[in-house]
Amino acid sequence: MTAEFRFEASEILNLSRAIKALPEAIKTKAMASAMRRMREMARSRIVKRNAEHTRLPPGVVRKLTTSRFNAGGNTQEVIVKSGWIPLQKLGATQTSRGVRVRGRGSYAHAFLSEMDSGHRAVAMRVGDKRLPIRELFGPNPAHAITNNPEVYLDVLAEIIEQNLAPRVLHEIERLLPR
């Protein structure tokens, strides 16, 4: 199924003239409102794509993701701040062969460990000796974005292409007196 869109140059020119004729206050409010909506759309789509990419529950990624609009600089920021997520926080359970983590699989020869400080972890021995042990971690959502920017830039480009112009027009319509 294909869709074809045609715009006449006169329609775009008329729309441009109409927007230029609007009072500055209406243009500013409409753009600010449209950008707020675009920011939230970008945040939710990045959270969804990152959750699929890292195989994490969307709620975990959502808690690590913030977004804000800098009106002075006219910039939008969607920020994912995270470290490597400990497997213990992803629902690890001890089995006879190792540790099983919900949604991530089994880790043979791993074990659940509780330190003197109260920190609980999924750990594995390093070498044949009893000590040292090392903690096992799951994915890092911020690292996934850094290593695969094209996956996430495609999401942002799609949002801008499909939603920015209609959203600005919607906000202008909403602000114009009836």
Confidence label for 9 from pLDDT (cuts 50, 70 and 90): low
Residues written for the chain: 178
Whether 27 is in a domain gets the answer yes
Considering the domain architecture, whether residues 61 and 148 belong to the same structural domain is answered as yes
- Cα separation, 159 vs 53, in Å, equals 19
Range of the domain at 162: 22-83+141-175
Q: What is the amino acid identity at position 141?
A: P
- The average pLDDT across 128-136 equals 88
Q: Where on the phi/psi map is residue 6: left (φ > 0), alpha (ψ -120 to 50), or beta?
A: beta
Pair (56, 43) in one structural domain: yes
- Provide, rounded to the nearest whole percent, the portion of the chain with pLDDT above 70: 88
What element of type H or E holds 21? helix 9-21
Q: Which of 42-46, 50-54, 129-133 has the lowest mean pLDDT?
A: 129-133
Is the pLDDT confidence value at 3 over 50?
Answer: no
Residue 69 CA, chain-centre distance (Å), reads 15
Q: Are residues 71 and 26 in the same domain?
A: yes
In total, how many domains does the chain have?
2
More confident of the two residues 38 and 27: 38
Tell me what the mean pLDDT of segment 84-96 comes to. 90
